[in-house]
Amino acid sequence: MDMGVQGKLAIITGGSDGIGKAIAKTFHEEGATVVINGRNLDKLNAACDEIGVNAHGVVADLATPEGAEELMTFAEDRGDISFLVNNIGIFDVNDFFEVTDERWMEYFNTNLMTAIRISRLVMKDMLGRNDGSIAFISSEAAIRSIGNMVPYSTTKTAVLGLSRSLAELTRGTNVRVNSYMPGTTSTESVKGYFAGLAKDQGKTIDQALKDFYDEVQPGNLKQSLIDPAMHGRGVIQLMTNSAMNGVMHRADGGTIRSIF
């Protein structure tokens, strides 16, 4: 199926690994030119080599306004920006009562402000051209609030509010803004977390995962980690469907026991 991205330009923030890289690969496979950003040039170059010849990486830290400007300029040099995927995020397991103000601000700056900074630039240009599509990568933790990941859940819930609010600014235009809610995915960081958990508990990784789904996510219908490539397909479908605007697309493996 032709997804309608051939020859168009897509920015995927934090696209050098994990879900971001999977999304970048899908756009590239469908014929788009892809721009990814990060803070490590060697990692960016390796990711671009893996993604393909029309992938370009730039060292641009969206934790700063200057980094957002650098990414915008780098992308614009390659054409009009048709797609923006706000993917940057951090997570860890923590005790709410031990999380410092500084760590809270790091969460807000990384999980929310990075997306605000680049969207503010890109979306204004899209509205001026009356064309474009933006997606925010949230998490099932935005809905299934997690007690030992309070900063993560809180900021991912905020991402949903940000996405819908920006969609309100697109009324009557050809610009769309949506959010995408993945479940627990087989990224390097998640696999590393379960490897550490298994070691701490004296279990195999397979047993640690089984216990996770039995005890933490018993409602999950998939009962296994999600292949990041599935999110690549899901995001590109969401971003190219002109009937979808201001919505949240769930890809959580059935973890949330709700049809809405």
Question: Tens digit of pLDDT for each residue in 139-157?
Answer: 999 999 999 999 999 999 9
Give, in degrees to the nearest 5, the angle at Cα 218 between 215 and 224. 95
The structure's pTM equals 0.95
194 and 248 Cβ atoms separated by less than 8 Å: no
Q: Can you tell me the distance from the alpha carbon of 38 to that of 44, in angstroms, rounded to the nearest whole number?
A: 7
Question: Which is the catalytic residue, given 152, 180, 193, 213?
Answer: 152
Compute φ and ψ for 152, nearest 5 degrees: -65, -50
Per-residue confidence band for 1, with pLDDT thresholds at 50, 70 and 90: low
Q: What is the pLDDT of residues 76-132, one digit of tens each?
A: 999 999 999 999 999 999 999 999 999 999 999 999 999 999 999 999 999 999 999
Q: Can you tell me the distance from the alpha carbon of 196 to that of 85, in angstroms, rounded to the nearest whole number?
A: 30
Pull the structure tokens for residue 101.
């103000």
Angle between helices 18-29 and 41-51 (to 10 degrees): 40
Per-residue confidence band for 258, with pLDDT thresholds at 50, 70 and 90: confident
pLDDT score recorded for residue 259: 83
Active site residue 152: yes
Q: Can you tell me the distance from the alpha carbon of 248 to that of 164, in angstroms, rounded to the nearest whole number?
A: 8
194 and 210 Cβ atoms separated by less than 8 Å: no
Q: Which amino acid type is present at position 38? A: G
pLDDT score recorded for residue 97: 98
Pull the structure tokens for residue 46.
């390796």
